[in-house]
Amino acid sequence: QTGAFTYDPGFTSTASCQSKLTYIDGDEGVLLHRGYAIGDLAENSSFMEVAYLLLNGELPNQDELSGFTNTITRHTMVHEQLAAFFRGFRRDAHPMAIMCGVVGALSAFYHDSTDIHDPVQRTIASHRLIAKIPTIAAMAYKYSVGQPFLYPDNSLSYTGNFLRMTFGVPAEAYEVNPAVEKAMDRIFILHADHEQNASTSTVRLAGSSGANPFACIAAGIACLWGPAHGGANEAALNMLREIGTPDRIPEFIARAKDKNDPFRLMGFGHRVYKNYDPRATVMQKTVREVFDALKVNDPLFETALRLEEIALNDEYFVEKKLFPNVDFYSGVILSAIGFPTEMFTVLFALARTVGWVAQWNEMITDPDQKIGRPRQLYTGPTQRAYVPVEKR
């Protein structure tokens, strides 16, 4: 398998592409990035290392990793005018609305890296996006809670820098908790790339028209926001909060099975995985590590574990091959770390920017690449004569 796109009769997209980045075997629950299993990467690698791997095709040696990390670090600050741009939003704007707006406007601030035919500008735009997305995400959070923006501190790691910009305040020193930093970095790895999912296909389709990379990533952010896609992590925790205690689980299972009820178990099911999402396995293990490190225990985790157990023993879910996906447990961890639910999809977008950028580069440098132009099955009326309004 070279990642060739195989048509699934139920699959609506006619987008087809070949890619060397990510391979998924949905039946076996396998996810590989450039041939490396997600479990190995999550256990042994770092997000910067996985970013290098996705962008360049090989795991970096120490010099390559240091060089890449330093390059990304040097791009973490945003144009000072961007802070003014933020002030146009209402304080209660959803952070994903801010992300769509700010990232979509980046070409107005960095127009010297928008020429997609110039390999140097493509590389600079790629580095700027990966480096600035955490700064913008932290600014979106700070703006929503009425706290001042913090500039990046480049003595910290990529993930540590993000945590400090998010939770630090100018009035006091911020100590990055190593266990939280490790868990967050692993969560970023789990969300980095995932083959031709809806938002990645959106980025590729936007990029195929020659749109600048900042606009393409903004298109991906908009698509990811949907509750059926990246918005599911926010929806899954809201669902667990609505369920509350395990005794109410049967009521929600019944609703999820009721065709007349639009309710679905958020964080369950997948367009490709018809087996356990390997990322959910790592995510569940990470919940326990974060709880131990922070000495917290959210009863919603027990509710989530019980919900999984009941669902995976229910013939509806077994027959339809519906398993927990990457979004089912992530909210419990992110909430324990201190993020509000509105920030969950922002964190997904932060991590997925690496995959989107890598997929965009692969697409834009493909000599055979043409503009994407999905066709349709026309089911409208056959040709007919015009009828003047007075005769209708």
Residues interacting with ligand SDX, by CB under 6 A?
194, 197, 228-230, 232, 256, 264-272, 320, 322, 325-327
Query: Is residue 153 among the annotated active site residues?
Result: no
Which residue number, 75 or 270, has a Cβ lying nearer to ligand SDX?
270
With respect to ligand SDX, which residue has the nearer C-beta, 62 or 260? 260
Burial of 381 (0-12, 13-18, 19+ CB in 10 A): exposed
C-beta of 68 vs 273, nearer to ligand SDX: 273
* Beta pairing partners, 392: none
Give the C-alpha separation, 300 to 332, whole Å: 7
31 vs 98, which CB is nearer to ligand SDX?
Answer: 31
Q: Taking the complex as a whole, how short is the minimal distance between the CB of residue 271 and ligand SDX, in angstroms?
A: 5
3-class secondary structure, 98: helix
Take residue 285 and report the two structure tokens written for it: 């293990």
Q: How far is the CB of 76 from ligand SDX (least distance, A)?
A: 25
Residue 168 vs 207, nearer CB to ligand SDX: 207
Tell me how far, at minimum, the Cβ of 262 lies from ligand SDX, in Å: 10
The CB-nearest residue to ligand SDX is 269
The least CB distance from residue 69 to ligand SDX, in Å, is: 24
| Of 60 and 331, CB closest to ligand SDX | 331
Query: Which SS3 state, helix, strand or coil, does residue 169 take?
Result: strand
Q: Identify the active-site residue in 270, 292, 366, 368.
A: 270
Find the radius of gyration of the CA atoms of the chain.
22
Full DSSP string of 19-64: -SSEEEETTTTEEEETTEEHHHHHHH--HHHHHHHHHHSS---HHH
191 is known as an active-site residue: no
Nearest to 183 by CA among 17, 47, 1: 47
Cβ at position 355, least distance to ligand SDX in Å? 8
Hey, what are 356's tokens?
Answer: 């989107």
Q: What's the closest the beta carbon of residue 330 comes to ligand SDX, in angstroms? A: 10
Q: Residues near 327 by Cβ (< 8 Å), separated by ≥ 6?
A: 230, 232, 233, 235, 236, 266, 267
- Choose among 25, 149, 38: nearest CA to 83: 149
Asked if 3 contacts 21 with a C-beta cutoff of 8 angstroms, the reply is yes
Query: Minimal CA–CA distance to 283: which of 239, 317, 332?
Result: 332
* Cβ atoms within 10 Å, residue 239: 24
The catalytic residues are 270, 327
